[in-house]
Every structure is written in C-alpha cells, then in structure tokens.
C-alpha cells in the first residue's frame, strides 16, 4: 500500500506501537530519503540503548525499542513541510501487533490514515 497524501506538515506518529507520517503535496521520489539530519524522532519510551533516533538513521543494524508495555508510540518530525508517497517498517523479532498510522499538520491534532490489526511483523510497506 502507498500513502499519497496532501496538506499535511511535518509529523509522523506510530500508535499502538504508534507511527505517523506527515506530508503536504504529492510528489514522486525514486530514491530513499533516509537518513536525513533534519528529522527528529521521539517516542513514549526507550529500552536501554535503543533510542528513537536509531529508527531513522538508515542503518538496518540499529533500531528503537519501546518498553514492553501497551500503548507505546513513535513519532518523526520532518523539520519542514514534506511529501511522503509511502514508507516501510522493518520490524525485528518483537513487533507491534495492532497499530495505527496517524498524520498531523501541527503535531497536536492527528488524523488516522491506517489501522493495522493482527500484524505478523516482518516488513510492513505502506
């Protein structure tokens, strides 16, 4: 699946484990956009050395890990108006079974654009 959205600013939040992206105008890109030093990641928690910024560093050997509780979230602030045509989540052995993809123009009010139930981990492409 591809997210092709318009009129969204710079936030991406993953709920459940929560993940949300933000975009403004539809554009096509033929290359990966990670890593981007302007992007900022934060999360509801972090387990040990697995900090949120490791989820967006472009290195498949690093990752973010939440505490082992429900209702964890992960958010990316793109730092500027951004266009997102799609994204990919590479889960490790632990993964979010149920989660929502949310978009925000301001980081305060969120719009759910995807709802995932009974995920089996692996690679999720939107």
Report the alpha-carbon distance of residue 110 to residue 106 in Å, rounded: 8
What's the confidence (pLDDT) of residue 23? 38
What's the confidence (pLDDT) of residue 12? 47
Report the alpha-carbon distance of residue 57 to residue 19 in Å, rounded: 16
Cβ atoms of 11 and 76 closer than 8 Å: yes
Report the alpha-carbon distance of residue 92 to residue 106 in Å, rounded: 30
Residues, the chain: 126
Q: Can you spell out the DSSP letters for 30-69?
A: SS-----TT-EEEES--BTTB-GGGGGSS-TT------SS
- CATH superfamily of the 11-125 domain: Galactose-binding domain-like (2.60.120.260)
Sign (positive or negative) of CA dihedral 126, 58, 53, 93 = positive
What's the confidence (pLDDT) of residue 35? 59
Question: Could you read off the pLDDT tens digit of each residue along the chain, which spans 126 residues?
Answer: 223 333 333 444 444 433 434 333 334 444 555 557 778 899 999 899 999 998 888 888 888 888 888 888 899 888 776 777 778 888 888 888 888 888 887 888 888 888 899 889 888 888
Indicate the pTM of the whole model. Answer: 0.69
């Amino acid at each position: 699946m591809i997210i092709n959205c318009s009129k969204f600013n710079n936030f991406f939040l993953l709920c459940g484990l929560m993940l949300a992206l933000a975009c403004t105008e539809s554009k096509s890109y033929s290359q990966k956009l990670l890593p981007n030093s302007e992007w900022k990641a934060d999360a509801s928690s972090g387990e040990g050395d697995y900090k949120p910024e490791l989820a967006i560093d472009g290195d498949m050997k690093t990752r973010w890990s939440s505490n082992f509780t429900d209702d964890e979230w992960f958010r990316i602030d793109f730092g500027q108006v951004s266009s997102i045509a799609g994204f990919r989540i590479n889960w490790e052995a632990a993964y979010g079974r149920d989660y929502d993809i949310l978009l925000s123009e301001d980081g305060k009010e969120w719009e759910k654009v995807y709802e995932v139930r009974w995920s089996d981990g692996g690679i999720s492409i939107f």
